[in-house]
Chain A
Amino acid sequence: MRFGVIVFPGSNCDHDAYHVISKVLGQPVDFIWHEQTSLGEYDAVILPGGFSYGDYLRAGALARFSPILGAVREFAARGGFVLGICNGFQILCESGLLPGALMRNRGRRFVCQFVHVRVEATDTPFTHLYRPGQVLHLPIAHGEGNYYCDPETLAELRRENRIVFRYCDAHGRVTEVANPNGSLDHIAGICNRERNVLGMMPHPERAAEEILGSSDGRALFQSLALVLAVTARE
């Protein structure tokens, strides 16, 4: 099992992701510079949070032209696991690996706080260790996290159970007040049709140890490690 954390110029959560994989999961992990063109030896890659290319043009818009994105596309097409967190989610949307886009927050402000999200789909390699409807306490830190897609895409996401996380209150109720950025249908994370690519605005890697105020994000990485361990045995 080998994880990779892709580093773009301007990534700033790459070390957090690396830390979770190496120290919390105890699994091998490498940093992958964005100019690399192959992901040959990896089983799962993380596109971390940050401000790739200074968010120039649009958040995530320029990172999608990095050489590594071609490799990520191929990797995803052959079933490799891809997790995009925050800026990583923006890059996945910009590159078309996930549908929709992340707009400026409804309230215009950069939002940096702990929120609650509800696990809506547990039939993914990233979330199978959670209970359906489980409420997680995770931090967010973004200016453009307001998910948007056209009505047909939203209908498809719902029909195929691809909305993986929704913003909610501490009791799991999905309310307008609990929506920190105006996201359509309170969406905090979605996956692709094949369920091997997940994008999410909250930061599970910053909430994987009690000392950080929450360890609710840990099971996401453990879910992935378990799937990889089982796959390796087969």
Chain B
Amino acid sequence: MRATVHVRLKKSVLDPQGQAIHHAVRTLGYEGIREIRQGKYFEIELEDDVSPERARALLEQLAHDVLANPVLEEYWVRIEEESE
């Protein structure tokens, strides 16, 4: 089973990297882009004997304790469909 975790700075926290990218993108002439916020993305492969419920609990814990810093960041855990 595969899972993904997205981590990004909370909306209330300034994202200077996202702003820099946005600025560069505007300079390049891309139009219609209001804001860019940069985040992190983790692809996680779980062992076969882990149930989806267990995987969710495990990854919520992992995201909270390791992958994100909850002072600054928020995260989403997504368990993907089992590969055929």
A contact residues vs B (CB 8 Å cutoff): 57-58, 61, 65, 93-94, 99-101, 103-108, 148-150, 182
Contact = CB atoms under 8 A, between A and B. Distances in A.
Which 6 pairs from chain A and chain B are nearest by CB? A101-B71, A108-B16, A101-B72, A101-B69, A104-B16, A108-B20
If over half of A's interface residues share one DSSP class (helix, strand or loop), that class is named, otherwise mixed; here it is loop
18 contacts: A57-B67, A58-B69, A61-B66, A61-B69, A94-B69, A99-B71, A100-B71, A101-B69, A103-B14, A104-B17, A105-B16, A107-B16, A108-B17, A108-B20, A148-B13, A148-B72, A149-B71, A182-B14
* Interface of B: prevailing SS: mixed
A104 B15 CA distance: 8
Interface size class of B (residues with CB under 8 A): 10 to 19
Contacts of A104: 16-17
Contacts of A105: 16
Contacts of B20: 108
Interface string B70-82: 0110000000000
A57 B72 CA distance: 13
B31 to A, nearest CB: 24
Nearest to A96: B71
Contacts of B66: 57, 61, 65
A81 to B, nearest CB: 25
A85 B56 CA distance: 37
B13 to A, nearest CB: 7
A39 to B, nearest CB: 24
B72 A103 contact: yes
Nearest to A100: B71
